[in-house]
Structure 1
C-alpha cells in the first residue's frame, strides 16, 4: 500500500484545485442568485408564454407583523381565468429576503412583470385536483418559523417582498405579490416610530336652491313671524295673494330631487352611509365635517335624519373637526380678497351642528387641491380657523413630502399647513391604483410596509404622516377598515388625531405668490356675492328688525362657493346668478310711485308722490329728488316711516328759477344716506308765472349787487400802512412826471391826476 501519493498524483490534484473552488463558487451562486431581485434561475417556475391564466388573490397574511418563533400562514384563492385546464397545479410561497427601504422600492415590487423574480421558495403544496377553466380553489401555505430564513438582528426589521405563485409542471401560470413585515425584536424601543393621522371629509354634494329653501322653511316653522298674515317669500317681501300653480309645481319637483339625492347618499350602501361604516370608531381617524351637510340632513328624508343620528352617536368616540359652513373654496375667496365671506361661513351655526360638533368645535380649512399660494395661506392665517389642509393630489407640488406639518410665513402671520402623504392617501382612496388586485389582506400589508419605511427613515425627533381621502370618497368598507385596523395594530405607528399633529413643530417653507385653478369660481363672481351681502345689510337698516330681512342670506351666498360645485361649472354659474337675483329681491321692497309728467307752474311748489313698502315690516326712509338741470331745485323730504305692505304719500318742496323741460330722478334713502331703492325718473315742465320770473330776476339782481358790494368792501379793506405806502408811491410818480414835463417845456398840474390815480389804484 502506498502511504504517500506519487509526484504525478500531487501534480494532478494541484491542477484540479482551482477547478474545485470554481465549481463550489458556481454552486453557491446558483443558491444565492434567486434571492436577488430581478435574478432568474431554476428557483422559480418559468412564466407562461401566453400570459398568466390564473388569478391569484391573497386573502390572509397571518400574522401581519411576523416575529421570531412565529409560523407564517398565507391564504390565497386561485381561479383559472383561461380556457385550458391546469393539469398539475402547484402553489408556492416565496419570500424576497432583501429589505425594501423606500416607497419607490415597494412600488417596484408590486409593479414587477409576471416573469420577474418573485423571491425564494419557502413552502409549496400541490392542489388536490386539476384546475378547470372558471374553477377556483383555496390554498393555505404555512411556513415554520425555522424556515423563514430572515436575519434576527433588531435592525433587520422592515418590509420584504412576499408572493404566492401557481405553476403547472414548473410553468408559472399565476402570481400575486404582497409584503411580509418582519420584526425580530419584540421590544418597542428597537422600532422607530411614526405618528399617523387619517383625515376624512364628511361633506355632501353641495347645497342647491331647493336645499336652501328647505332650510328656510324649517326655520320659519320653528320661528314663525309674529303679527303678519301675508305669506312671505325668501326675499322678505310680501307675496301676491294669487298662487302660481306652475311655479309651485317646479319648486316641488326641485325639492323632491334634492331630497332624493340626499337620501341616496345616506341610505344603506350610499356614499355617506358607507363612509360612516368604514371609519367610525377608528382611533386614527378624524372627521372633517361640513356643518351645511348636517343642516341639510336635519331637514331631509327618513334616511338622512337616521344617518344624522348615527353620526351624532359615533362622534362621541371619533375625533371630529368642523369645516366652514358648506365647505367653501378657500382659494377662490382669497383670490377675490373677500375674507368677510370666510368669516361669514365660520360664523354660521345651527342646532344640528351643535348636536354633532359641539358648541365650540375645533376647526380647520381644506383647500380644494394642491394648487396653493401665499394669498390662500394668508387668508387661512388671518381667519384663525385652524390648520389649512392641502389637497390630496400633491404630485408636482413644491411642498415638502417627508412631513405632515408645514409652516408658511405670510403678511397675516404664520399659516399652519397639513400636507397629506400622496401614496398613502391614494392607497386609502383608490387601493387598486396602488396595490393591483387589492384585497383586505394585501392593502393591510401595503400600508404597513409604507409606514414601516417612513418610520425607519424618521429622525430622532420622530416623524408624522397625514392620510386624507377626497371629498367624494365612496370607500370600499372592507378595504378601508383593513388599512385603518392595520395602522392601529402596527408596533411602529402611533395613532394620533389631526389636532395633535397640528401641535407638532412644522418645517418652514415658501409658496408661490399667486396660483389659481381653472375650476375655481372667478374673483368677479366672488366679489358679486360679497357685494350683494353688503348691499342687503345696508338696505336692512331701514326696518326695525334687520335680522328678519337677513335670515338665510348668508347661507345662500356661501352655498355657491362650495368646493363640490367645482365639478359642475355650468350648474354653479346658474346657481350664482340665482342667488344674486334672490339677494336683489331682498332689497327691492321699496319703490316710489309718481306720474310720468309733472308741471311746475310757480317758483315755489310741492310735488306729491307715493312711497310703497312691500316688506313685511315698517320702513323708515326719506325721498330725494335730483333735477338734471338748474332750473328746478328740490329739498329733501323729512324722514318718513311707511307701514308694512302699505303706501304713504310724501310731499317734496321744489323751487323753479326759469322755464324749462327737465328730467328729475327720484330715489329713496335710509337716514344715513344709503340708497335703498332703484332710481325712477319723471319729466317736469317748469313754467313759472311772469311775476314769479320778475321776482326771481329782482332777487337775482339784488343778490348780484350784494355780492359786488361785498367784493368792493373787501378790496377797500386795506391797512393804514398799505395806504400810506401807496400814497407815497403815487407822490413819487407825480414828481417824476412833473420833472420830465418841465424839461420838455410842458408844465401841467398833476394834483388832480394824482388823486385820481390813487383812487383807481386803491
Structure 2
C-alpha cells in the first residue's frame, strides 16, 4: 500500500453572519472580563465570610414596632470593590421566631454572610450601577399588613431581621439587626439601666512640696530645712510629672479620651460620672485646653449623679493584699474633702471579675457605697451579662446562677455583706462602639452604626426584662481607658427611654433598688501579677507614718506634711500598672524623698562614762539642723538598776546645738549600757538613738571618807593615851595659877608652898639645892616640848 499525499485544504472566505457572531463573542468576553474582578472578589469574600458590599443600618422606625405600624428600615450600601456592581437590589428579611434567651440574640449577630436570614419580605432595586467606593442610601418599607407578628400579650421581644444586597442571585453584603415587637396593651416590666463613665487621668507623680522654712522669727539661711535635698524632684517623679502634663494635654484635646468621655456624659442627664478628684487640680494647672476641661468636668459633676474614686485612683487590690487599708482610707478622706460628699464614694477594681474577700473588705473600710468590678474578658457561651466563664456560676467563684443579668450583687465577705456592681459585658462593649459577639468580644460581620447598636441593646434587654425575678438594675460601664462614642451612647440612651421594657436610671437609683437575691460567698484571695508588690506598698505606708510621727514635734505639723499624701498615693495608681519598671523606680525614690523630711534632729555621740560618786551629772547635746524650733523630749535609760536617772526637763530645741543636763544616781558597782532617745509626744523616735557604756563605782567615794575618819580618830586616841601615861608636871600645873596674883612658883603637886624666907635662902621645902630645882624645871620643859 502506497501513501497518498493529502491535498491542500481549500480556504473559504468567512460569511458576514459568522463575522457578526465572532464579534458578539468578543464583546461578551470583554464584558465578562470587566465584571470578572467583582465576581472573583465575591467568591473569595464569601469564602472568607466577608461582604463585598458594606451594609450599614442608618435608622429603624419605629424602634419598637406595634400592631398597625409600618416598619421603615434605611440602610447605606457601599461598593468596596474596584468594579461597578450592576443589577443589585436590597432585600429585607425577617425571622419571626421570638428570641427567648441572650444566647439566641448573640447567635443571630454571629451568623455568617451565607447563613439563613429568615424569610424575604420586600426588595428594592438599585436602578443604577453601584460604582467602586460609592455609597447609596436605600429605604425599605414593610407595610403593617405584611408584618405578620402575633398580637398576643407576653409575646413582646426581639426577632431577627436583616438587610441584604444581592446581584444576579449572589449575596454581596448583609447586615443583621433586630425587629422589636410590642403587642397591643402589653405592659412589660421596665428594667432600670444605668450608664457609668469613669474619669481618670494619666499616671502621675506629684513633685514634693518643701517643708516650711520661713516661720516667723526664723531665717531660712541660718539652718538647713527639714527637706533639704528632698524638695527637688527626683528623676522618676519629674519624668512622670512631665509625661502626665503632656498626656493630659492630649487627653483633653479634641479626639482625646477625656474630651470624648466628657462629650458622652452630656448626652443624657441620667449618665453617672465617676471621677478621680486628683484629676481636677492636675487639669486646672495645665494648658488652656486642660483648664477648660476641668471647668466643664466640675459642671458635669454638679449636674449629674456623681461618685468620687479614692484620691489618685489607688489599686484597691494591691493596697488590701499588703494589709495597708489605712492608705486607702487616706485616699478616701481626700476625695470626700475635695468633692464635699461623704456618701458618694465608689471603689473601682482594676482586675476583671469578682474581687476576692480581702479586696471586698475595702468597701466597708473606706465607707464606699459599692465596688465596681469590670466584667471578665471571657464570657460564657451565652454571651450574656454573666461576663464570666461557665465555672464562675458556682459558689466558689462568687457568681450565682439566678441573677446573671443583675449588675448589682451582694457577696458575703469576712466583714459582712458587700455590694458589688458588675457591669453587663455585652452592653458595655456595645456602647464603646462595636458589636459584641457571643464570646463577649468585639466584632462585626459588617459596619456597626448607632442605630444598629441601639437595636441590639434593646434586643438584649428585652430578654432580660422577661427574667424572673426582674433584675434590680443593669449597669453599662466602659473601662478606664476607653471612651464611648457620643453618637452611639446618645442613640442607646434615647432607645432606653423609648422602649417599653427599659428606663434610664442613675447608679444611685440602681443601688437603691430592693433585691431579694441571696448573698454569694466571695472568692478566695488571689493576686494579679500586675499588682504592686506588697513590700512596696508597705514601704510607702511606713514612710508616710514616719513623716507624720516626726511632724508632731513641730509647731505647724500640717504645713510640714503638705504634699506627702499626694506623693505616697501617686505610685499606687492603677494607671502605673502599664509601666511596672517606672513604677518600681518611683516607689523607691518616693520612699527616700519622704524619709528625707524626717531628718535634721540628732543626739551628739558621747564617750563612755565613769561614775565614781553617788550622784553626778551627765551632759548631752542635741543638734537641731532644722530652721524651726522643735519640742521633743530626751529619754535616758540605763539598762540596769545600779544606775538611775533623776528628774529633768528637755528645753525647746532651738536651731543649732542645745545642751541638756541629766542627773544620775549610782547605787552599786556595775558596768551598764545607757540608751538615749529623742522622742515626740507619743514616745516615737524623732532622731537616731545613741548608746554608751558607763562604769559605775560609787564605793570609791565612801571608802575614802571612812579611811580619813579612821586616821583622824587614831591620832586623837594616841595623843590622849600618851598624855595620860606621862602624867602632869609641877610646871604645867603651876601655870594654872595667875602670875599676877599668885606666887611666882608653886610647890610640887601634893607638897606645901614655900615661904618667902626659904625662897630667899634659895632652898626648897625638901632642902634641895637651888640648882637642882632649876635642873628639874629644864627637864619638865623639855618633856613638855616633846609632848607638844
TM-score, shorter chain, exceeding 0.5: yes
Q: Does 1:475 align with 2:484?
A: yes
Q: Does 1:443 align with 2:453?
A: yes
Q: Deviations over 1:543-572 (max 9, x none)?
A: 223222222222322232222222222222
2:430 is aligned to 427
CA apart distance, 1:106: 1.2
- Flag structure 1 segments of 5+ consecutive residues without an equivalent: 1-44, 702-762
Q: Does 1:334 align with 2:320?
A: yes
- Flag structure 2 segments of 5+ consecutive residues without an equivalent: 1-42, 377-386, 436-440, 708-788
8 A contact 1:601–1:687 mirrored in 2: yes
Distance of aligned partners of 1:593 and 1:92 in 2 relative to their CA distance in 1, 3 Å threshold: same
1:197 is aligned to 194
8 A contact 1:279–1:481 mirrored in 2: no
Secondary structure in 2 aligned to 1:197?
strand
Distance 1:194 1:670 in 2: 59
Distance 1:424 1:530 in 2: 39
CA apart distance, 1:276: 0.6
2:147 is aligned to 148
1:264 is aligned to 250
Secondary structure in 1 aligned to 2:405?
coil
Q: TM-score, normalised by structure 2?
A: 0.72
Distance 2:619 2:544 in 1: 33
2:589 is aligned to 578
8 A contact 2:343–2:368 mirrored in 1: no
Q: Deviations over 1:73-113 (max 9, x none)?
A: 22222222234432322111211111122111111111112
Q: Does 1:694 align with 2:687?
A: no
Aligned equivalent of 1:237, options 194, 215, 226: 226
1:407 is aligned to 410
Higher mean C-alpha deviation, range 416-425 or range 670-679 = 670-679
1:181 is aligned to 180
CA apart distance, 1:225: 5.9
CA apart distance, 1:275: 0.2
Q: Does 1:89 align with 2:71?
A: no
Correspondence 1:318-357 to 2 at 5 A: 318-349=304-335, 353-354=338-339
Q: Does 1:209 align with 2:206?
A: yes
8 A contact 1:295–1:350 mirrored in 2: no
Distance 1:359 1:521 in 2: 29
Distance 2:639 2:358 in 1: 45
1:136 is aligned to 135
8 A contact 2:345–2:367 mirrored in 1: no
1:395 is aligned to 388
Correspondence 1:550-629 to 2 at 5 A: 550-594=561-605, 608-624=619-635
8 A contact 1:286–1:319 mirrored in 2: yes
8 A contact 1:321–1:362 mirrored in 2: yes
CA apart distance, 1:450: 0.8
CA apart distance, 1:668: 1.8
Secondary structure in 2 aligned to 1:70?
coil
CA apart distance, 1:248: 9.3
Distance of aligned partners of 1:391 and 1:474 in 2 relative to their CA distance in 1, 3 Å threshold: same
2:522 is aligned to 511
Distance of aligned partners of 1:429 and 1:419 in 2 relative to their CA distance in 1, 3 Å threshold: same
CA apart distance, 1:170: 1.0
Task: Give the greater-gyration-radius structure (CA).
Answer: 2
Distance of aligned partners of 1:413 and 1:248 in 2 relative to their CA distance in 1, 3 Å threshold: closer
CA apart distance, 1:699: 11
CA apart distance, 1:462: 5.4
Higher mean C-alpha deviation, range 570-579 or range 49-58 = 49-58
8 A contact 1:600–1:656 mirrored in 2: no
Aligned equivalent of 2:419, options 407, 416, 419: 416
2:276 is aligned to 290
Distance 2:418 2:706 in 1: 68
Distance 1:504 1:496 in 2: 11
Secondary structure in 1 aligned to 2:195?
strand
8 A contact 1:593–1:612 mirrored in 2: yes
Distance of aligned partners of 1:108 and 1:651 in 2 relative to their CA distance in 1, 3 Å threshold: same
Correspondence 1:646-661 to 2 at 5 A: 646-652=656-662
Q: Deviations over 1:484-529 (max 9, x none)?
A: 2222222211222211222223322111242332222333333333
Higher mean C-alpha deviation, range 691-700 or range 522-531 = 691-700
Q: Does 1:543 align with 2:544?
A: no
Aligned equivalent of 1:280, options 266, 270, 274: 266
Secondary structure in 2 aligned to 1:190?
coil
Distance 1:633 1:699 in 2: 23
Distance of aligned partners of 1:137 and 1:225 in 2 relative to their CA distance in 1, 3 Å threshold: farther
Secondary structure in 2 aligned to 1:640?
coil
8 A contact 2:601–2:686 mirrored in 1: yes
Aligned equivalent of 1:313, options 299, 322, 337: 299
Q: Deviations over 1:613-664 (max 9, x none)?
A: 2334321223345679999987786323112x43323344568999999997
2:679 is aligned to 669
> How many equivalent pairs are there?
633
Between structures 1 and 2, the one with greater helix share: 1
CA apart distance, 1:677: 1.1
Higher mean C-alpha deviation, range 600-609 or range 359-368 = 600-609
CA apart distance, 1:197: 1.2
Structural RMSD (CA): 3.8
Distance 2:455 2:304 in 1: 25
8 A contact 1:197–1:284 mirrored in 2: yes
Q: Deviations over 1:340-370 (max 9, x none)?
A: 222222211588x34xxx4445222222222
8 A contact 1:57–1:77 mirrored in 2: yes
CA apart distance, 1:253: 6.4
Q: Does 1:374 align with 2:357?
A: yes
8 A contact 1:371–1:516 mirrored in 2: no
8 A contact 2:59–2:73 mirrored in 1: yes
